[in-house]
Structures are given as structure tokens and as C-alpha cells.
Amino acid sequence: MSIDPILLLFPPGWIYTTGGPNLALPLLKGFLEVKGIETYLIDLNIGLSNYFNLKISDDEIANACEIPSLENLNKPYYISQEQMSGIAKPFNAIWDIQLGFHYEGCSFSSSDDIKRFSELSSPFDNFYEEKLLASVEKLNPSIIGISGCAPAQLLSTFQIIRLLRRKGYSGKIILGGNLITRLEKSFIKDWVFELIDGAVLFQGEVTLTSIYFALQEGRELDSVPNLIWKRNGKIVENKIEYLTPKDFGRPMYENLSFNSYWGINYIPVLGSRGCYYGKCTFCAIPYAYGNNGFLGNDNPISVYDDMVSGYELTGINKYKFMEEALHPAILKKLSDKILSENFDCEFEGYARFDNFWKDENFLKRVAKAGLRKVYLGLELITSGKRGLLNKSDSDITLEMLKKFSDAGIKTHIFTLFGYPGTGIDEAIKTIEFVLKHQHLIDTLDIFPFYYAKHTTVPFVIPIIDSAKDWAIEYDYNPMMEGVLRNEEVTILCERLEDVIWNERPEWLHPLYRMCSPWSTVHEFV
């Protein structure tokens, strides 16, 4: 029996100041299509931006960044933000460029709030009617999959699901994504499974394929891995299986509106699944990959082919590697392939302060291949207390920043203040360090420590609030003298951010980041 295609949706609520789509849907489409399953993608998040004509133009960004004062950067940013606020205001709601849409009084951490507020009308209803329902009617998908990565996407996800059911869609609705995996058992609610047919934990490629063929063959879903579903009125959890490198699929970018994303557009790619280190005590990002946060490296030649096929489809030769840390083996072989084929490209990615970056020949080669910027987790300047974070990386930060600069590779620095056992002194010294060596740094983030679900952090105990059952970050109580409290960490970070806003506003401003890695715009500062 032949059944209709799969439709994959990326819901509103994702940050707009990125230059490309989330990679989840292209990865799923590539895997499913190879299995013979016709698959379509709709990025509803960027679709909303296009529907309301909200995009900040490349020219506006370039002009603002020529002299990147806070005033110049804020002007185009807040024109769009005011438009969004005006759209949301009649609904007693807030729509933020970076934080998504929510009603006043609605907490993304509360399943009760999501249930209640998702029943309300929204400013996006006409868009859903005109764009989404028209596509559903045309394609008649047997399965609609929705991938959620951020808490701000929960509200729109359930508004979309309620609309689909209200309009008579009777096919399977399956939810997945990093966020659903992070929520896992707390996501199991009777009202949720009255609306949906399943929730996927960890990677969804095999799960969606198995659901599709089970439907085609008229089988139950008992053998489908990584699935939470309702059987005979009872919600059950199937066995967990992790994806292996031999099963990694190739992303397919068809159906996505490239060149409509904000800023200089790039194509997202992936060289590894997860973080090859994965032992930082504060970090839960790799958790959703499964297998202790790392599934393995991909084939560098296949990754190169992904880059070329993306360019041939879109005309874009800029790429962002989405794994948590670029792996040296992948990067070396990929760079060799790029150079041997004379493929003109630029790319950026996340990295650790690992010793292989000290190799000047390696740096020159990857820079020649197109590496333009790395995003580095410094967290704190080297001190006796930095070891508490269990980063196990190099302690020669300044030398490595100089080597990146000499190779023509820009750097972004992540800082993290208030981690239990560290304090105000370490935070201030870190800010003093980055300002002293500001000529080596392109952008910077200041993050307050929060207790992430699926981590274990010493010296504090998380506060588990039953009213915040969908929280993935917790407040906490110190368990020893000298550990900063939540509110103290917040104040510390706000004050240090004020210092950076005054000294180097472009470091923190999202507008500057929308173009800074790429050579097709002015070299600003």
C-alpha cells in the first residue's frame, strides 16, 4: 500500500538573527528521501518574517557596521523590533527578535501555561491558514513532523497542532527535536498525547522512517525506536537506539527559502554529531545526541559533497558547522579536499581551546581552505578555579588567540560567570583580559551560570519547581559558603555586560554578528 508524503515543520520561536535555517529538517529530509520517502520542508519561523516583511536588509546591516556604535547598530534592529512588538501588542503578547513570541503571563517552563495559552488566537493565525493549511491540503501528508529546538517554540507548536486538528487533519503528528529530548519524561502529559501521535527522543531519522513503513504495512509502532506513543489508551516508551556513523544521512536543502534569512546567508553543515569532548560539567547541549553526547565523525568527503551540493542549489558558498566543536581530523581532511578541488568557500564553526590549534601550518591551511571564524569556549581566564568546569583544554589562551589572528581567523569568545566555586574576582579578571587584548577578538558573549537539566554540578542543589515542569534550566541553592546565588550572578553579568556595551558594543550586538565572519562585507573594525 502506498501512503502519502511526510511534511516536516520548523515552528516559530527560533532566533531571527541567524543567517540560515536550522539543520534538523534538511538532515531528516536527506535520510528519508534516500529511503524512498517523499519529504517536504516548511520553515514556518522564517516564513513568518517574510509574511510580515520584517527582514533587516544586508545594506542596512553593512551601513550600521561601518561605524559600529551602539546607536548605529540599534537603529535598524529596533525598527524591526518595533514592527514585531506592534504586531503582538493587540494580543497582549510580546514578539522578540531573539526570544520569540509569548503572551503576557505565559511561561515556557510550565506545561499548564502552554496548554492554556495555546488555545488562544494569535497574530499568526492568518499566516497559518494561508501558508500551512494550504500546503497540508495540497500535499495530504500521512505524517507531519515538527522539530522544536528552543522553549519559545513550544507555544507556537501547540497552536499549530490545535489548528491542524481543528481543521480536520487526521494523519499522524510527531514531535521531536533537541527540546523534546531534553524534556523527555516530563513531556508525557495526557493532554499532549490527545493532540499528537508520538514524541521522538534523540535523533529522529530511523524513528520517522520506521513509523512511515509501519503505517504502510499496517503494523503497530511497538518496534519503532526512540518513540513515546499511546497504545491502547496508555502512553508507552519504546526502546532507545542511538544513530551510528554508518547511518548518517546527507542533508537536503530543497524547499527552504535561502537568501531570505536575516543577515549574510549561509548553509548549515555538520562534520560530527555532538561534542567529541563532552565532559564540561555545566553543558547539556550534547545530551540530545545520545551516547554520552557524541555519535561520531562523518566522512569528510561526504561533508565536502554536502557543501558543493548546497552551493549548486542555492548559489551560497558560506557555511556554518553546527557541531559543538570542530574535530581536527575532519577539518584537516575537509580542508585538503577543498584546496585540491579549488572550491571557493568560507566557513565558521565552534571550537575548543585544544592544542592542535597551536600548529601554525594547520591554521594556515584551514584558513586558506576558507575558515573565517571560530567560536571558542573560554568561560574564564586561566586560574586555579577554572579547572572546576572540567574543560581540560589548553591554558595558553593568549598565545592561541594571537595564532588565530595571525592566520586571519576571527574569534568569538564565550564567557561563563558565577559557576559554583568561582566568583566575582575571576569574572572581572576575564573581562580585563578580553579588553586588554580586544584587537584579537571579534565578538563575545557573557553568560550567567544556570543549572542545566541533565548536568551534575558541585556545590549547589537545583530547585525543582513542580509548576515549572517543562523547565530545562533551574534556579539553585548554594551548598557551601562563597558560592554566588542566582540573583548575584545575574547582577554580576549585567554589570560586566554594561562595561562591554560601553567599550565594544559590536561584540555583543546581534546585528554585527549577522555579517562579521564573511568577506563579502566591509572589514569594519
- pTM (2 decimals)? 0.95
Mean pLDDT within 195-199: 98
| Banded pLDDT at 522 (limits 50, 70, 90) | very low
In this prediction, residue 2 carries a pLDDT of 55
pLDDT tens string 171-184: 999 999 999 999 99
> What pLDDT was estimated at residue 1?
43
Question: Per residue in 15-57, pLDDT tens?
Answer: 999 899 999 999 999 999 999 999 999 999 999 999 999 989 8
Distance CA 377, CA 475 (A): 23
Distance CA 405, CA 388 (A): 29
> Where do we find the cell 542545566?
452
Q: Output the pLDDT for position 357.
A: 95
C-alpha cell at position 246 = 554508518
Handedness of CA 390, 391, 395, 397 (dihedral sign): negative
Which residue intervals of 278-344 are DSSP H helices?
300-314, 328-340
Predicted local distance difference test score (pLDDT) of residue 394: 84
Q: What is the model's pLDDT at position 48? A: 96
Which residues, other chains included, contact 470 with Cβ-Cβ below 8 Å and sequence gap of 6+?
Answer: 108, 109, 110, 111, 114, 151, 154, 183, 186, 187
pLDDT at 169 over 50: yes
Query: Average pLDDT of 472-476?
Result: 96
**Domains present along the chain, CATH in parentheses:** 6-64+107-237 (3.40.50.280), 266-513 (3.20.20.70)
- Band (pLDDT 50/70/90 cuts) for residue 376 is very high
| Proportion of the chain above pLDDT 70, given as a percent | 98
Segment 118-129 shows an average pLDDT of: 97
Q: How far is CA 30 from CA 76, 173, 249, 289, in A?
A: 36, 20, 6, 18
Question: Which pLDDT does position 459 carry in this prediction?
Answer: 96
Rounded Cα–Cα distance for residues 444 and 26 (Å): 29
Cell of 95: 514578539
In the predicted model, is pLDDT for residue 524 greater than 80? Answer: no
What pLDDT sits at residue 395?
81
Residue 196 has pLDDT above 80, yes or no: yes
Q: What is the mean pLDDT of residues 436-451?
A: 97
pLDDT given for residue 235 in this prediction? 97
Q: What value does the mean pLDDT of the chain take?
A: 95
Q: Among candidates 297, 296, 361, 311, which has minimal Cα distance to 335?
A: 361
Residue 439: pLDDT over 70? yes
256: Cβ contacts below 8 Å, ≥ 6 apart? 21, 25, 26, 41, 43
Burial 220-235 (b: 16+ CB within 10 A, else e): ebeebbbbbbbeeeee
* Integer Cα distance of 97 and 524 in angstroms: 24
What is the reported pLDDT for 519?
A: 76
DSSP letter at 269 equals: E
Q: What confidence score (pLDDT) does residue 520 get?
A: 58
Distances (CA, A) of 377 to 370, 392, 414, 484, 496: 21, 12, 5, 21, 18
Query: How high is the pLDDT of residue 385?
Result: 87
Q: How high is the pLDDT of residue 57?
A: 87
**What pLDDT digit, counting tens, does each position of 226-265 carry?**
999 999 999 999 999 999 999 999 999 999 999 899 999 9
Largest CA distance in the chain: 68
